[in-house]
């Protein structure tokens, strides 16, 4: 079954409203800039907070283990290997997400830091699309993400950069870097944009950091506009 090729897959995972969420504001700016430069064709937005991906269940795991024993199976053929109604339901939930990721030239992620890591909404998406063999080419065994560009837009309530007291508390950026590079995204195609000290604008105890927070957000805006304006990866790789 043919699937629409996506030039930009835009995923938001913030549980906050659009006018208050820094990641949503920045990803919306990216998407708007992208469409201005490259057109609206091949754009898809998924709101993982408003329309959450269900966590994987036992049937998903059982199906995945069966596929591990078989070897790399094209996603479109996995349905024939389901053995129960629960497995078919799990795969019906998974396949559209896998198709989107496999077909995307650029993946844009809005990722606020929740408790030093990523939101559960994003982790549920990651767990579901990382089905055994789903991100591999059935003919070559190589990753289908080798030419995919990934832009991760992050917001943190505090500061977690090099030299800060909480540098070692950042399990957001290292986790996403490890995940995407392990599954085939080239280092040069993986971009992180971050706005720090996001809570300075609302927390009285952090008021002295508001100027720093505003500068961080302004730098993130500039970086988002620059990345969105770059020439996209060719539609057919």
The residues spanned by each domain of the chain are: 6-229
Query: What percentage of residues in the chain have a pLDDT greater than 70?
Result: 96
The pLDDT value recorded for residue 200 is 78
The pLDDT value recorded for residue 158 is 86
Distance of alpha carbon 125 from alpha carbon 55, whole angstroms: 8
What mean pLDDT comes out for the span 136-141? 90
Distance of alpha carbon 104 from alpha carbon 135, whole angstroms: 12
- Selected residue with higher pLDDT from 180 and 207: 180
What mean pLDDT comes out for the span 54-63? 96
The pLDDT value recorded for residue 28 is 97
What mean pLDDT comes out for the span 45-69? 96
- What does pLDDT average to over the chain? 92
Query: What are the residues facing 136 on neighbouring strands?
Result: 143
234 pLDDT above the threshold of 80: no
CA-to-CA separations, 156 to 7, 112, 124, 171, in angstroms, rounded = 28, 6, 20, 11
CATH-assigned architecture of domain 6-229: 3-Layer(aba) Sandwich (3.40)
Global pTM? 0.92
1 pLDDT above the threshold of 60: no
What mean pLDDT comes out for the span 75-86? 95
236 pLDDT above the threshold of 90: no
What values do phi and psi take at 194, rounded to 5? -135, 145
Strands 190-195 and 149-155: parallel
Binding residues, as ranges, are 14, 113-116
Rg (CA), the chain: 19
Q: Are 60 and 95 in contact (CB under 8 A)?
A: no
The sign of the torsion formed by the CA atoms of 55, 59, 65, 71 equals negative
Binding residues for FMN, as ranges, are 14, 113-116
The pLDDT value recorded for residue 232 is 63
118 pLDDT above the threshold of 90: yes
Q: Are 124 and 53 in contact (CB under 8 A)?
A: yes
Distance of alpha carbon 230 from alpha carbon 227, whole angstroms: 5
Distance of alpha carbon 228 from its chain centroid, rounded? 16
Token duo for residue 182 = 């392990």
The pLDDT value recorded for residue 53 is 97
Residue 203 pLDDT level (bands cut at 50, 70, 90): confident
What mean pLDDT comes out for the span 149-163? 90
CA-closest candidate to residue 82, choices 64, 97, 68, 56 = 64
What mean pLDDT comes out for the span 186-195? 96
Measured from the Cβ of residue 206, the count of other Cβ atoms closer than 10 Å reads: 18
Residue 190 pLDDT level (bands cut at 50, 70, 90): very high
9 pLDDT above the threshold of 90: yes
What mean pLDDT comes out for the span 136-147? 92
Q: pLDDT tens digits for 216-232? A: 999 999 999 999 998 66
């Amino acid at each position: 079954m043919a699937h629409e090729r996506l030039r930009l897959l835009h995923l938001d995972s913030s549980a906050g409203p659009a006018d208050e969420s820094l990641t949503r504001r920045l990803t919306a700016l990216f998407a708007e800039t992208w469409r201005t430069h490259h057109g609206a064709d091949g754009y898809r937005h998924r709101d993982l907070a408003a329309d959450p991906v269900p966590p994987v269940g036992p049937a998903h795991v059982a199906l995945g283990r069966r596929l591990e024993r078989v070897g790399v199976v094209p996603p479109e053929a996995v349905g024939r290997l389901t053995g129960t109604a629960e497995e078919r339901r799990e795969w019906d939930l998974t396949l559209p997400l896998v198709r989107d990721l496999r077909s995307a030239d650029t993946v844009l992620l809005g990722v606020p830091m929740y408790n030093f890591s990523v939101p559960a909404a994003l982790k549920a998406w990651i767990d579901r699309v990382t089905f055994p063999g789903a991100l591999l080419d059935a003919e070559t065994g190589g990753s289908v993400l080798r030419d995919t560009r990934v832009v991760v837009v992050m917001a943190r309530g505090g500061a977690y950069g090099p030299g800060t007291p909480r540098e070692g508390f950042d399990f957001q950026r290292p986790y996403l870097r490890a995940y995407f590079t392990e599954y085939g995204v080239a280092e040069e195609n993986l971009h992180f944009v971050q706005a720090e000290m996001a809570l300075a604008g609302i927390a009285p105890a952090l008021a002295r950091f508001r100027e720093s927070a505003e500068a961080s957000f302004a730098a993130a805006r500039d970086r988002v506009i620059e990345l969105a304006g770059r020439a996209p990866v060719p539609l057919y790789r």
